[in-house]
Amino acid sequence: MSANSSDERYEEAVRLFGSALDRLAAGYEADPDKRRDLRQEIHLQLWRSLAVFDGRCSLRTWTFRVAHNTAASWVVRERRVNQRFVGLEEIEHTIPAVNLAPDLDRARALDHLARLMLTLKPLDRQILILYLEDMDAASIAEITGLSAANVAMKIHRIKSILARRFQEVERNA
């Protein structure tokens, strides 16, 4: 693939998925300065990878695979000693009750969501982020390499966790 063609692919990927990539970085890094570095890293790796894009999958799948894999490597690299991530299975029934006000604004709701996300294992985080990006189980399975059944089960857990957060609100209201 020529350099121009590679650049065009990159421009297209950024035009279509750029804002999703920005949100993705927020799901992997809480610190704003480090998040900017992660975004740079994701864009660099995406641009490099598109030079060998061979159409084995869609541009969307390719873009999200590269972005999530770059971010997962980032998490492994930046992981602090004794820092432990949890799986969806672990938090489904143990997620702590939060005293959320019924009129909680979107900014605070987003903050709660981001904090929940940052505690998850990278693979579960991928699924949550892709689910929040409105992707179906088959697309998520293609990006993550998990079976569709496994993804469907995890999406079920995600819905349960998010709904439970809402129930806490109802109970506290």
Partner 1 sequence: MPENSNDWTAVWRDQPGVPPVRPRASLDLATRSEILTSVAASIFFVGVVGWRLATTGQRIPPVGFAAAIAWALISLVWFRARLRRPTPDALAQPGLEHYRRELTQRRDHLRNPWIWHGPLVAACLTLAAVPVMRPLTTVAPMLLILIAWTIYGIVNRRRQAAAIQQELDELPKG
Residues 83-122 that bind partner 1 (CB under 8 A): 84-85, 87, 100-104, 106, 109-110, 113, 121-122
Looking at the Cβ atoms of 93 and 167, the one nearer to partner 1 is: 167
Residues near partner 1 (CB under 8 A), total: 71
Structure tokens belonging to residue 56: 């084995």
Site for partner 1 in 25-84 (CB under 8 A): 26, 36-37, 39-41, 43-49, 51-54, 57, 62, 65-66, 68-70, 72-73, 76-78, 81, 84
Residues 167 and 124: their CA atoms lie apart, in Å, by 22
- From 127, 122, 43, select the one nearest 77 (Cα to Cα): 122
Query: From residue 162, how far is each of 6, 32, 50, 74, 96 by CA, in Å?
Result: 39, 25, 35, 26, 12
Looking at the Cβ atoms of 93 and 108, the one nearer to partner 1 is: 108
Looking at the Cβ atoms of 97 and 109, the one nearer to partner 1 is: 109
Q: Does residue number 164 form part of the binding site for partner 1 (CB under 8 A)?
A: no
Q: Does residue number 131 form part of the binding site for partner 1 (CB under 8 A)?
A: yes
DSSP lists the bridge partners of residue 120 as: 86
Per CB under 8 A, the list member of 126, 137, 139, 157 interacting with partner 1 is: 126
In angstroms, what is the minimal distance from the CB of 119 to partner 1? 14
Looking at the Cβ atoms of 11 and 93, the one nearer to partner 1 is: 11
Query: From residue 111, how far is each of 105, 114, 165 by CA, in Å?
Result: 10, 5, 13
In angstroms, what is the minimal distance from the CB of 97 to partner 1? 15
Helix (H, G, I), strand (E, B) or coil at 120: strand
One DSSP character per residue, 62-98 reads HHHHHHHHHHHHHHHHHPPTT---B-HHHHHTTPPP-
